[in-house]
Structure 1
């Protein structure tokens, strides 16, 4: 049902700054049963401040609500806003499959308002599986850079979901071949899955039968999708890696890159925060019934085309598990194909393209999205000519430099902001990705850094909020992996590194790990020769104000060699919320002409083995930038970072 005002709406293509009454009037109309007023009301409520949403009010109840048609992200939307709010809400405009009348464009110009396909209400619909199968088949048939992976050596343990009524575990001796699906999901609380984990005690029974009903819902859904896609085997980490056998567990972690890169496809459950939630049965339209409205009217023939309008919230917290979980980073990059179950649709991506179920055009090489195509960013040596390089300014033959640039960018944008429930996983969850990158970058891998580019590797700093130091030791202070939070690496163009004598000389660098060189780090040291100076801090130390439990943006301390505040020669920035210590001997070590590390003398408690600190051993506590004429009183000396 539509109210009188909505019935008088112009065709959507002519929609421009159409005014609705105030928000209270809009909500009254929605309560009376107007379906479009309900969608507009939901869109404007979605962008109100939290206190206004809680009270059911607007920041200005007297201001009208406006709507206009717009083009955004290669799709068509109705923009909803109010002058008193700074953000806009959006209603998606989809094509109407029941509309037989189409308007011909006599000018033959591109349609500025492309429409998405309307979607079924469920992830379990036949059309959804037809879309997945058709997209994968097209990938196999036409993409030279996407291996078929339909006849590979199976992992050591794999779940057979096709042969019998109930799934069962298969133990491969290295000779069995086939194709398999891998599952990428958020475990959630350990209690959800620990009763079904693969253990030494459960192995004999799992080789005979696994009760499907006993599995968490996400695992049941993965079995259903794999079976429906006609793939015989499914790999699930918790059920294919013995959880109480550390030796086998570590061996499986070392081949994790192979498990994902050789999978036929990876199912990614991006919606649930726990394995118990499932992803197939969730409603796709929990925000109101879609509405059919006129889209365009031909004045000559009188024909009218129609569109389907639905509300999509700005806040998509229901997909935060995939965006925030550290392990899902490499589980997205390494596979050939990923079938991602999002809140409102399914997205199938491969190393060539991204295809959305609603038919929305997608920038297949958009730098600001993560998908399997990022595999060729760290393996440019394997990239086919049909896929353009990520960094065209770098010679196509310089694979090492391309991989390094991608490593630093992906750390900043896609990995370092993510969280881990186990401290050691900061490096372990990146290990398979690092192993692939190592084959191109070369040298030694040093706790998230590379020996062949260590000067650049040291030039990281917090991005946004200050970092948190891990409670237990997991990496040297000079490695970004020792901290929780978002980091960025400075590019060489930021400062003048070409001046003679300002680049440090790396004398020695090493790290110690338990097993794999890409795993958890237990100790590490860098010995370098560079320009070093002592300093003191004037004024107050870093003031770490808090707001709503979050650290504020970065603030700086003024650092000087001697004298009063007017003689300050650089700004020092703390890396962490702990600030720059006032009770330790401080010095600055140049990494480039205008940028360097703020170091504090170690007291022996900064290493995993708690060895007694020596005079030349320092820990990183921040970074500095020079100001005015730069620093003249320095010494060229050897210094040890731990």
Structure 2
């Protein structure tokens, strides 16, 4: 194979000839924008890929409207698109998302500094793309990738076939698409459709403008049929994908739910689990901010396709930060699911998190690549046979780890039931699996609460589909966002976002103070069960009366009755540092240690620059670890002395940090207090 064209600067990089330009071990690549531009015009295969990747990153940053430290003028050129030129530096070798060695490059133009990672690896060790991508994600080659994955899934994946709830289910309404001239779309009621048809769903961002929608005004027109060219681009391209896979019925939320009828919306919201679970696949407009952006994207193939480079010599063989002789793949800007999918505009929406979880098969139309995701496989155009890892212990929080764990558990239970000739649903009894599911749920909740909701009142509604499936598997019930079966641990949540980002959304008191659903911010869990074994953790309270579910307003019960011990807590809260200042007083225990414990207030929006806080510490559970003891609890305040009712105002986690033993001292004092019965409301 002939070696590709390389500029002298890149040849020097491969030889190990480098010039240090800063004390953080950045080395010079192109010393000027003229040098970089010359290499591009020369056709240097590495610099061409670098430039394409810088372009991509710069475009992404502007699209996300992130602050960029730019000067008012810059050395930019325009040729159909903005070109970034600048001197470049690099740092050898860091670690890439794929685990391969990589070089981290910076582009320092007069406009801004952009950075990217180029993955490298010796031929035979780094797996390059199996398929080189085409120019546009809507071309025949891209469609063939989808068709191949879909056919293989239908033919080979037992878990995908078994994950549907009912083969007879149909949504209330569907769109029937026709390719006859002119191509049209017609709204159909369930009664007009054969129960044996397959349908697809579309997951998309509405954006700032309401897409074409079903209302009492447009109902008759949609029932009679409209031409496809009257629909937004995303809808038209979704129809094309569905028909390429032999599907003639499509479900789109804005066209299948009345947007001016609250009762219809409430009724349909309860069916979301069945709508997405029974669809044959979901088309995800992952990269589109609204319905006018479409699914298909032009892309720079050179930024995605690798180049093979040979190295025959280098300056210092003993230096580990140079290239030994051999052949290497250079791949700029590797596209991974966490960047292409999880960080994309679509997956910042809370409703979409549920849609992705419930769908048996999802086709992700990202900015650069198509991804196929189903119950048994996660692949891309460049690696159609690769199964991107799905670590159920991953802390990324996206819906896939929880979904994979639930599907695997359900499938395993089904096999066991068939083997033992049992009928009906067996209750999950494997304690480790149960713990894993609760832990995965907590991580998913952290991801979910970072997503956007147009209506904060939908916080729990947009979880109904997932919570119903998880609840059935665990034989548990989600009440105000907390699992009753693990209620003590579920109470131990806290707001991640600093004071100015929190917003209380339950002025009507429909949601109790102990529910995280009151807050529009990211919610984290206390110390998770996998941090220490159940033998070393103990409940500090006894719940005597549980809250009731929300199926009917008459039966709602917001309070939790428990026997516990309350300890006075007093300190001064600093708004500037979002933390408490010393001394911290726990009953008779006074701490002056600068190693302050993890204590968070739920609501600091009304807090002045500094404010005295006096409340009660309610320790919910305690445990032991190698260096001492620890406990987790809530900060509560008395709101009704007659009924002994308390409201939650914060979270507290303390562990011994030798030589200080604050947790042990507080727990010893806690043991001397008297039991009492209170209501947490």
TM-score by length of 2: 0.73
Of 102, 126, 148, the match for 1:113 = 126
Contact 1:351 / 1:371 at 8 angstroms: preserved in 2? no
Q: 1:502 to 1:349 in 2, by over 3 A?
A: closer
1:602 paired residue number: 639
Asked whether 1:285 is paired with 2:300, we answer yes
Deviations 1:296-342 (A, max 9, x none): 4899xxxx989685556999699532231111111111111110011
SS of the aligned residue for 2:178 comes to: coil
Asked whether 1:217 is paired with 2:233, we answer yes
1:449 paired residue number: 482
Of 5, 15, 25, the match for 2:8 = 5
Distance 2:92 2:612 in 1: 60
Q: 1:623 to 1:17 in 2, by over 3 A?
A: farther
Asked whether 1:427 is paired with 2:463, we answer no
SS of the aligned residue for 2:574 comes to: coil
Shift of 1:53: 7.7
Asked whether 1:377 is paired with 2:405, we answer yes
Contact 1:438 / 1:445 at 8 angstroms: preserved in 2? yes
Contact 1:161 / 1:234 at 8 angstroms: preserved in 2? yes
Of 539, 542, 552, the match for 1:505 = 542
Deviations 1:79-118 (A, max 9, x none): 2336999996223679xxxxxxxx9x9xxxxx21211132
Asked whether 1:618 is paired with 2:673, we answer no
Deviations 1:222-256 (A, max 9, x none): 11211222211111111111222333322211121
Q: 1:544 to 1:526 in 2, by over 3 A?
A: farther
Deviations 1:522-572 (A, max 9, x none): 9722222211122222xx413245xxxxxx7x6667531468955789763
Asked whether 1:530 is paired with 2:564, we answer yes
Q: 1:452 to 1:580 in 2, by over 3 A?
A: farther
Asked whether 1:491 is paired with 2:528, we answer yes
Shift of 1:376: 4.2
Of 130, 135, 138, the match for 2:152 = 138
Contact 1:153 / 1:177 at 8 angstroms: preserved in 2? no
Question: How do 1:237-386 and structure 2 match up within 5 A?
Answer: 237-280=253-296, 282-285=297-300, 293-296=307-310, 310-311=332-333, 320-359=344-383, 361-367=386-392, 368=394, 370=398, 374-378=402-406, 381-384=409-412
Deviating more after overlay: 449-458 vs 247-256: 247-256
Shift of 1:382: 1.8
SS of the aligned residue for 1:339 comes to: strand
Distance 1:640 1:284 in 2: 59
Shift of 1:215: 2.0
Question: How do 1:35-54 and structure 2 match up within 5 A?
Answer: 35-36=43-44, 37=47, 39-40=49-50, 50-51=68-69
Q: 1:558 to 1:426 in 2, by over 3 A?
A: farther
Aligned Cα root-mean-square deviation (Å): 4.5
Contact 2:233 / 2:294 at 8 angstroms: preserved in 1? yes
Distance 2:482 2:215 in 1: 35
Of 522, 541, 555, the match for 2:573 = 541
Contact 1:92 / 1:312 at 8 angstroms: preserved in 2? yes
Distance 1:504 1:82 in 2: 55
SS of the aligned residue for 1:278 comes to: coil
Q: How many residues align?
A: 585
Distance 2:583 2:589 in 1: 11
Contact 2:167 / 2:278 at 8 angstroms: preserved in 1? no
SS of the aligned residue for 2:268 comes to: helix
Q: 1:623 to 1:67 in 2, by over 3 A?
A: closer
Deviating more after overlay: 358-367 vs 555-564: 555-564
Structure 2 residue runs of 5 or longer lacking an equivalent are 21-26, 62-66, 76-84, 314-325, 416-427, 623-630, 655-661
Contact 2:573 / 2:580 at 8 angstroms: preserved in 1? no
Contact 2:53 / 2:303 at 8 angstroms: preserved in 1? no
Q: 1:403 to 1:564 in 2, by over 3 A?
A: closer
SS of the aligned residue for 1:178 comes to: coil
Distance 1:260 1:598 in 2: 40
Deviations 1:148-204 (A, max 9, x none): 879643211000113753011110138633111111111112x332xx221233222
Of 560, 569, 578, the match for 2:585 = 560
Asked whether 1:197 is paired with 2:213, we answer yes
2:678 paired residue number: 639
Deviations 1:578-623 (A, max 9, x none): 37795786111111122210012338xxxxxxxxx96622221112
Distance 2:303 2:404 in 1: 42
Contact 1:559 / 1:570 at 8 angstroms: preserved in 2? no
Structure 1 residue runs of 5 or longer lacking an equivalent are 95-102, 106-110, 388-393, 546-551, 604-612
Shift of 1:136: 1.3
Contact 2:18 / 2:28 at 8 angstroms: preserved in 1? no
Contact 2:306 / 2:329 at 8 angstroms: preserved in 1? yes
Q: 1:246 to 1:15 in 2, by over 3 A?
A: farther
SS of the aligned residue for 1:484 comes to: coil
SS of the aligned residue for 2:494 comes to: strand
Deviations 1:363-389 (A, max 9, x none): 4333446465642423554224999xx
Q: 1:514 to 1:463 in 2, by over 3 A?
A: same
Contact 1:533 / 1:589 at 8 angstroms: preserved in 2? yes
1:630 paired residue number: 666
